[in-house]
Amino acid sequence: MKIVFATHNRNKAEEVAALLSQIEILSLSDINCHEDIPETSETLEGNAILKANHITENYKLNCFADDTGLEVAALDGAPGVYSARYAGPDNDASANMEKLLSTMKGVDNRNARFRTVIALHIDGNQYLFEGVCEGIILKKKSGTEGFGYDPIFQPKGYNRSFAEMSMEEKGKISHRGIAVSKLISFLNNL
C-alpha cells in the first residue's frame, strides 16, 4: 500500500520513517544459522515453538517461527502438520499435490483450510498467533504463483487459486498474511 505523508517538515518525516522501520527481520543466514531445525511435533503449535526454541536457546535472540498446514475436511484434517512431507520426506510440492489430488478423486466435500501458527519469542516471553484461510481443494492445478499447495487451493469467495494471485493479493487474505498481521500489530503495540 502506498500512502502519502502530507508534511513538508523534514524532522517529522524522519521520525515517522524511523517509526515505520521499527521491525527489522533477520534471516537465518544473517545470524549464520545453517543447520536443520527440528520439526518433530505432531501439531503446528508444537513445531512453531520447537523452531523458535532452537533460535532462542542456541543464539539468544528474539525470533519468530511459523508452521503451516493444509487441513482437509474429508480427510479429518490431513495432511495438516505433515503437509510439507505428505508424499515423503523430500518436501516436494509437486508430489504432495499429486498425492492429495489422487486421494481426493471422487470426493465431493472439497472443503479445506490453510492454518498458520506463529510462535514469537521476545524478551523471555512466548506468544502464539494464528491465521486461518478457508477454501476448497480444486480438482486440478491452476496457476504458477506462490508455492506449496497454492495451485490446488482456492480461497473462499474467489474463483482463482492462490497460485493465480499476486503475492500482495494472496497476502491480504492468506493464513500466513493474517498471522503475520497479528504479529506486526502486537510488535508495534509493545
Residues designated catalytic? 67
Distance CA 66, CA 116 (A): 7
Output 43 or 185, the one with its CB closest to its own copies: 185
Taking the complex as a whole, how short is the minimal distance between the CB of residue 76 and its own copies, in angstroms?
Answer: 26
CB 135 within 8 A of CB 157: no
* CB 172, min distance to its own copies, A: 9
Residue (15 or 90) nearer to its own copies, CB = 15
- 73 CB-near residues (< 8 Å, 6+ apart): 109, 111, 112
d(CA 146, CA 98): 17
Distances (CA, A) of 173 to 147, 150, 167, 169, 178: 16, 13, 10, 7, 7
Of the pair 37, 128, the CB lying nearest its own copies is at 37
What's the grid cell of residue 108?
Answer: 465431493
Reduce the DSSP state of residue 21 to 3 states and report it.
Answer: coil
Nearest approach in angstroms of CB 109 to its own copies is 29
3-state secondary structure of 102: helix
Site for its own copies, rule CB under 8 A: 1-8, 11-20, 22-28, 30-31, 33, 36-37, 51-52, 54-55, 59, 61-66, 122, 146-148, 167-168, 170-171, 176-177, 180-181, 184-185, 187-190
5 vs 158 by CB, closer to its own copies: 5
Q: What residues pair up with 137 in beta bridges, in sequence order?
A: 153
